[in-house]
């Protein structure tokens, strides 16, 4: 038995309409380009899975990811998890039929916890990922939010997660809304506690500012996967669009490079390089 | 050109299997029509979901006996993930349920621990394949998602295993024309495509 630590490195793609976007604390979105080009780039660089989150689906009461997913599954042969605005077993079925492998539920699960049970029975537990968006309140406890961090539920994180796992959720993806996009690092206590309190895989999301944060999380917790956006996207954008600032600027009125430098806590890294660095210290994802 | 059929019984990532095979220039028929299945040169049984539900659907579609007949007739068959589990005698998922019995053995759940080591269940992610017989072209990595694994009666049908924190279990099984893979070749990048390539070359 080797001492290798198997850890899934999962690029997180926030989608708004046809665009890949990125915000800070799930707000203040900037457009980064075509999501499927990023997905392909990450696939070719060794990503274990891809996580697509439609961040306005719940707000506008629709789910429009099926087209994106069926396009990407033509060239990207790694698992795809899709979330955002999935409300019914039928919604889930449509997304799975278009090429997704797993679905993530947040709002719909909070409103109807039994949906988790029904979906798990129909599609298999391992297909159903519970997504939680967590904010630490003044009482020191972590509470869950829905609608992309906008709506309070009053649900205390640890107990809701346990309940959802009992109902059949096969994985839990935890987003620290406080840390997301800030580059300040993961909330190690939060993730560590959740990972040790449930028996299903836990995926962490929110806060990576550099590869060292990823390594720190991997070494200090039992987490099974790490979902990362900023540090990869802000490097990938240059690789995908060949450093063409005119093309990159055309996505948005703001200059991406300047903005990512504004948040100097974000240290972009190439996905390929990240995989190689992790491998050196015994943390592995898939082999290319 | 061999006529390959993917069984459509409402479960399984058929779309991705098709995309994966398309890269090899293969265009399978997706069907649950018994006549079409019986006329196939080779059959893929996909599967994502729960064992009892899968067997119910196959029964409702009249495919259980058809699949048994095809197997008996020597048609190459490939079971993927839940599809591999269905090939066996029975599973203990949500009770005790009968499978297709094309392979002898049962399907059981991963324990919560292997020795002192905690096992997160389902296993979700990549793992390496260890083969009983070394070959240079063996596919060595696969993506798996599962809470249950196979315990074959005859260890000889195990072609390759995976090791999950010390728990070793069959990842690829084969008995004559029947092949099962616990992981998802359609989601295993080039490793998976190579697996399909090899299976197709032997049809």
CB contact under 8 Å between B120 and A48, yes or no, is: no
Predicted local distance difference test score (pLDDT) of residue A65: 78
Whole-number pLDDT of residue A62: 53
**Is residue A282's pLDDT more than 90?**
no
Mutate which: B13, B85, B127, vs A, most A CBs within 10 A: B13
> What's the sign of the alpha-carbon dihedral A104, A108, A114, A118?
negative
CA distances from B63 to A83, B68, B69, B105 (A): 33, 8, 10, 21
pLDDT at A255: 43
CA separation for the pair A164, A156 (Å, rounded): 12
Of chain B, the end-to-end C-alpha distance in Å amounts to 11
CA distances from A168 to A53, A86, A109, A118, A184 (A): 21, 17, 11, 9, 33
> Chain A contact for B49, CB < 8 A?
yes
- pLDDT for residue A247: 83
Of B81, B93, B146, B191, which is the active-site residue?
A: B81
A239 CB neighbour count, 10 Å cutoff: 14
Question: Which is the catalytic residue, given B70, B97, B146, B184?
Answer: B184
Predicted confidence (pLDDT) at residue A1 exceeds the cutoff of 80 = no
Tokens standing for residue A265: 């806590």
In this structure, how many other beta carbons lie within 10 angstroms of the beta carbon of residue A114? Answer: 10
Within 8 A of B143 by CB-CB distance, chain A residues are 48, 78-79, 286
Q: A252 pLDDT band (50/70/90 cuts)? A: low
pLDDT of residue A60: 58
**With contacts defined as CB-CB under 8 Å, which chain A residues touch B81?**
none
pLDDT exceeds cutoff 60 at A58: no
**How high is the ipTM of this complex?**
0.90
Torsion of CA A51, A54, A59, A61, to 10 degrees: -110
Closest CA to A120 of B93, B127, B157: B93
Residue identified by tokens 């689906």 is A57
Query: Highest mean pLDDT: which of A49-63, A176-190, A198-212, B59-73?
Result: B59-73
Residues contacting A57, CB < 8 A, separation 6+: A63, A64, A65, A84, A85, A86
Residue A249 has pLDDT above 80, yes or no: no
If interface means Cβ-Cβ distance under 8 Å, which residues of chain A face chain B?
1, 6, 8, 43, 48, 70, 73-74, 77-79, 96-99, 101-102, 121-127, 170-171, 199-202, 222, 224-225, 285-288
Residue B134 bears catalytic tag = no
B140, B199 Cβ separation under 8 angstroms: no
Q: What is the mean pLDDT of residues A206-234?
A: 92
Cα distances (angstroms) measured from residue A248 to each of A253, A267, B25, B53: 10, 19, 36, 48
A261 has a pLDDT exceeding 90: no
Q: How open is the CA angle A149-A153-A154, to the nearest 5 degrees?
A: 120
Helices A157-167/A114-123 angle, 10° precision? 40
Q: Do B48 and A101 touch (CB under 8 A)?
A: yes
Q: What angle do CA A100, A273, A69 make, to 5 degrees?
A: 15
Instruction: Return the pLDDT at A215.
Output: 93
Q: How far is Cα B150 from Cα B110, in angstroms, rounded to an integer? A: 10
**pLDDT the model gives residue A2:** 43
A37 — pLDDT class (breaks 50, 70, 90) = very high
Q: What value does the mean pLDDT of chain A take? A: 88
Over range A219-226, report the average pLDDT. Answer: 93
Cross-chain Cβ contact B13/A224 below 8 Å: no
In tens, the pLDDT along A107-164 reads: 999 999 999 999 998 888 899 999 999 999 999 999 999 987 889 999 999 999 999 9
Closest CA to B46 of B58, B33, B38: B58
Which residues of chain B have a pLDDT value below 70? Answer: none
For the residues A18-30, what does the mean pLDDT come to? 78
**Could you say which of A73, A78, A222 has the minimum Cβ distance to residue B143?**
A78
């Amino acid at each position: 038995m080797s001492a290798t630590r198997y850890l899934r490195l999962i690029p997180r793609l926030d989608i708004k309409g046809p665009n890949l976007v990125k915000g800070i604390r799930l707000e203040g979105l900037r457009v980064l380009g075509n999501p499927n080009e990023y997905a392909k780039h990450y696939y070719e660089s060794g990503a274990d899975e891809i996580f697509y989150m439609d961040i306005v689906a719940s707000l506008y009461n629709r789910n429009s990811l099926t087209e994106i997913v069926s396009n990407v599954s033509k060239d990207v042969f790694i698992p795809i998890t899709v979330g955002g605005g999935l409300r019914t077993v039928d919604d889930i079925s449509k997304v799975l039929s278009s090429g997704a492998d797993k679905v993530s539920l947040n709002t719909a699960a909070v409103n109807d916890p039994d949906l988790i049970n029904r979906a798990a029975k129909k599609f298999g537990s391992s297909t159903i990922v519970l997504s939680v968006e967590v904010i630490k309140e003044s009482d020191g406890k972590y509470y869950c939010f829905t609608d992309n961090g906008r709506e309070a539920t009053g649900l205390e994180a640890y107990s809701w997660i346990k309940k959802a796992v009992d109902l059949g959720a096969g994985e839990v993806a935890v987003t620290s809304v406080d840390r997301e996009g800030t580059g300040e690092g993961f909330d190690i206590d939060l993730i560590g506690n959740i990972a040790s309190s449930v028996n299903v895989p836990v995926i962490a999301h929110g806060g990576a500012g550099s590869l060292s944060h990823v390594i720190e999380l991997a070494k200090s917790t039992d987490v099974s996967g790490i979902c990362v956006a900023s540090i990869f996207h802000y490097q990938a954008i240059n690789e995908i669009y060949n450093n063409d600032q005119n093309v990159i600027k055309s996505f948005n009125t703001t200059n991406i490079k300047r903005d990512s430098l504004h948040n100097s806590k974000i240290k972009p890294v190439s996905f390929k390089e990240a995989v190689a660095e992790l491998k050196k210290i015994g943390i592995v994802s898939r082999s290319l | 050109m061999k006529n390959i059929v993917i069984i459509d019984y409402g479960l399984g990532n058929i779309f991705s299997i098709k995309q994966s095979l398309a890269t090899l220039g293969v265009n399978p028929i997706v069907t649950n029509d018994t006549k079409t299945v019986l006329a196939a040169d080779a059959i893929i049984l996909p599967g994502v979901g729960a064992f009892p539900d899968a067997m119910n659907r196959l029964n409702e579609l009249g495919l259980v006996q058809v699949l048994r007949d095809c197997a008996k007739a020597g048609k190459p068959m490939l079971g993927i993930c839940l599809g591999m589990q269905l090939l066996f005698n029975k599973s203990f998922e949500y009770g005790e349920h009968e499978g297709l019995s094309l392979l002898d053995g049962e399907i059981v759940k991963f324990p919560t621990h292997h020795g002192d080591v905690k096992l997160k269940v389902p296993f979700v992610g990549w793992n390496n394949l260890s083969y009983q017989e070394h070959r240079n072209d063996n596919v060595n990595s696969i993506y798996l998602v599962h809470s249950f694994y196979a315990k074959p009666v005859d260890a000889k049908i195990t072609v390759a295993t995976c090791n999950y924190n010390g728990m070793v279990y069959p990842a690829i099984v084969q008995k004559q024309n029947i092949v099962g893979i616990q992981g998802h070749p359609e989601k295993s990048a080039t490793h998976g495509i190579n697996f399909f390539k090899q299976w197709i070359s032997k049809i």
